[in-house]
């Protein structure tokens, strides 16, 4: 099969509403993808469009209400080089032992808009899976990209990043979100965020 560049799926999609934490699909493991067809690739287009307008650096299928194992990303690595792609049926590994380095920075999620909390994650992650045509791929990420690969793969296992926080930090995260949640319509970003001046 000829290699098709992922760029062909990064334009032309439609914006979808982003599913919020608390919705059952966000907290359940996803199903593996077995059909690499035009419908899947159209979904990838829509997810890229949704992520771009939100805006975000990664978006999992659960975040648009679908319990399938897929995420898209357009995210800088530790050298500020933007990397992009779509991964089906991902698996992520991180270093162990002396090679394992953690970095704690503020993390957020498009499905909990306005909420941020510090979370320590490994600074290197390797994600393996297949592309929207069913071809194997591997993405090695550093810096923010490493965090993104871990965050999105967590989503596909039914985990949100609050599940990795202490109770105290989690409560503050939810409080921060609640302060501005009214600015985000139920179908955001299909309907844009309201101005805080309104």
Helix H segments across the chain? 38-53, 143-156, 167-180
- 152 is a catalytic site residue: yes
136-142 and 124-130 beta bridge pairing? antiparallel
Distance CA 12, CA 48 (A): 9
Return all residues near 147 (Cβ < 8 A) that are at least 6 apart.
Answer: 103, 105, 107, 121, 125, 141
**Of 83, 73, 88, the residue nearest 35 (C-alpha):** 88
Choosing from 7, 52, 103, 152, the catalytic residue is 152
Cβ–Cβ under 8 Å, residues 141 and 125: yes
Enumerate the β-bridge partners of residue 36.
none
CA 181 to chain centre: 20
| 3 state DSSP class of 99 | helix
Give the residue numbers marked as catalytic. Answer: 152
């Amino acid at each position: 099969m000829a290699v098709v560049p992922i760029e062909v799926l990064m334009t032309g999609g439609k914006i979808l509403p982003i599913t919020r934490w608390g919705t059952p699909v966000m907290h359940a493991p996803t199903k593996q993808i077995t059909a690499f067809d035009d419908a899947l690739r159209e979904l990838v287009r829509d997810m890229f469009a949704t992520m771009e307008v939100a805006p975000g650096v990664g978006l999992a299928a659960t975040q648009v209400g679908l319990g399938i194992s897929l995420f898209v990303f357009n995210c800088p690595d530790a050298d500020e080089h933007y990397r992009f792609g779509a991964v089906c049926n991902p698996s992520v590994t991180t270093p162990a032992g002396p090679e394992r380095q953690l970095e704690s920075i503020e993390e957020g999620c498009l499905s909990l808009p306005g909420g941020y909390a510090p979370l320590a994650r490994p600074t290197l992650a390797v994600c393996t899976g297949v592309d929207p045509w069913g071809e194997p791929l591997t993405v090695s990420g550093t810096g923010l990209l490493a965090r993104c690969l871990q965050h999105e793969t967590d989503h596909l296992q039914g985990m949100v990043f609050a599940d990795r926080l202490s109770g105290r930090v989690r409560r503050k995260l939810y409080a921060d979100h609640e302060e501005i949640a009214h600015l985000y319509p139920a179908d955001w970003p299909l309907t844009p965020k309201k101005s805080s001046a309104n």
